[in-house]
Amino acid sequence: MSTPIFLHQVTVPSQFAPVDVLLEGGRMKFGAPAPAGVRIIIAQGMVLLPGLFDFHAHLREPGREDAESIASGTAAAVQGGFTGLLAMPDTNPPVDNGGMVQSVLDIAAKTSPIPVSVAGCITRRRAGEELAEIGEMHLRGAVMLTDDGDTVINPLLLRSALQYSRDLGILVGAHCDVRELSGSGAMHDGRVSYRLGLPGIHPCAEEIGIARDIRLAHSCRTRIHIKHVTTVRGVETIRRTKREGTRVTAEVTPHHLIFCDTDVGDYDTNFKVKPPLRTDEDRCALLEGVLDGTIDVIATDHCPHTEFEKNRDFASAPFGVTGLETALPALHHYFIRPGLLTWDMLIERMAVTPRRLIGQRPPSVADGAEINAVLFNPAAATKVKRSFVKSRSLNTPFLGRELQGRVEMVMLGDRMLHDASGVE
């Protein structure tokens, strides 16, 4: 930032009352007077948050740059208040060796405005037949192992990966599914799928997978992270095994917290995700899991697809929605504004815990801290239209909607990454 910024009476969740914050020289100064020549922002009612970190993003590069690139995906992330993210390895070719890890990191270093962390595959080509080059990927900087998008069908293979991860100190992220049960399903198996005539994905497919993978991790005395939990019984299993001492963490997506299977409506493919949107009972159980700490992370599962792909009929369209640009305003609109979720909880689930799980130091909003922050305006609106979207893909369930709350600024060190102040 070439000009220092002075935030007058901004709300900081850790403070009892609004404070004046000077952003200068890459650091924050609380209570300092506004020096001459500073840019003054009347920030009463606005909230200063630490930069968010998305724990689950599909950036598609290399191989599917028509849907997303590292440059466009991280631009979308900045638009949504994220100053870091974890890229999934389901690229083409997959990130299943040290060279691919290095390649993604090199592209990110050249094209991304924010730090990008990389996950590596558990199995070669994500085919579930033999282990990938786990040690080499770890040496090159991979911070998670996952075949996300697919489950590791062979439990012996997954157990071997968990043993390696324990010795290397790298986290395994589990996509929990039983293919024989999920099959060719297109949405949640229930009344709505029957009415629409669509093949269903039974919740048991996910719940059995969760129980199996947690049990395997417990047998190896190592950590495991359960991705995109969606069901009541899945939450209950994680809650119970945590109490028993298993080192399990879990995540939920904003779209699973906000929507349910009835939102599919008239075969709207922008609501087709995997695991699918479940019932309202499941949705409420997910929120309860966030509130009581059973679910540790809120992650977008940003999954871009081209308009051509998503414009197919519902049964054959690909699974996935985008989420980097809309997660923060949507969570504010649906949960913080009505008092169902606090800013402190959101910070813990979206800025602090994701980074800690992969050994990174979380940012803080405090006097003297390095600038890694988001200025959020609850009084403004986010209008999700084509001109707003930075992603190369438009498969968001929020397209055409207006969400209460807007990311005003995103700042990292001495750089202003995003500035929407004055934009209507």
Residues taking part in catalysis: 301
355: number of Cβ within 10 Å: 21
Report the residue count for the chain. 424
Question: From CA 204, how far away is CA 231, in angstroms rounded?
Answer: 9
In angstroms, how far is CA 15 from the centroid of its own chain? 27
Q: At 339, list the tokens.
A: 């008092």
As beta bridge partners, residue 41 has 7
Specify burial of residue 13 (Cβ count, 10 A radius: 0-12, 13-18, 19+). middle
DSSP output for 17-49: S-EEEEEETTEEEESPPPPTTPEEEE-TT-EEE
Taking the C-alpha atoms of residue 125 and residue 135, their distance in angstroms, rounded to an integer, is 16
Q: What are phi and psi of 55, to 5 degrees?
A: -90, 5
Our CA angle for 151, 153, 156, nearest 5°, is 120
| Side chain identity at residue 204, one-letter code | C
Query: CB–CB of 393/67 below 8 Å?
Result: yes
**How far is it, in rounded angstroms, from Cα 121 to Cα 111?**
23
For every residue of 188-203, DSSP letters joined together read ESSHHHHHHT--EE-H
Reply yes or no: is the peptide bond before residue 93 cis, omega within 30 of 0.
yes
Kindly report the three-state secondary structure assignment for every residue of 389-403. Answer: CCCCCCCCCCCCCEE
CA 32 to chain centre: 35
Query: Which uninterrupted H or E stretch holds 51?
Result: none
